[in-house]
Amino acid sequence: MPSIDPKAFILGCSAIGAGLAAIAGIGPGIGQGYAAGKGAEAVGRQPEAQGDIIRTMILGQAIAETTGIYGLIIAIILLFVRPLLGAL
């Protein structure tokens, strides 16, 4: 059985980790869509409270988006900075 090059193994694992980190963007997308739908329903029921509803919804979506941004940053670091290669 041939041995695996350690550098190639680390780069492969980094690529897999970057893919998993990028998949983390799916959750915030689903959550933001759900929140926007519920916000639209709430405004439809109580149009006089539109300002409060939209402000709360936008704040919640900004907080939810941070999860996707963190995943994107981790993926970029794993692909382009390659911090794990310093261990060799």
Confidence of residue 20 (pLDDT cuts 50, 70, 90): very high
Please determine, for residue 16, whether its predicted confidence score (pLDDT) is greater than 90: yes
Tens of pLDDT, residues 22-44: 888 888 888 888 988 999 999 99
Kindly indicate whether the domain formed by 24-81 is annotated with CATH number 1.20.20.10.
Answer: yes
d(CA 24, CA 68): 6
d(CA 51, CA 42): 11
Give me the pLDDT at residue 82, please: 81
Give me the pLDDT at residue 1, please: 58
What integer is the mean pLDDT of 72-78?
91
- Provide the 3-class DSSP secondary structure of residue 24: coil
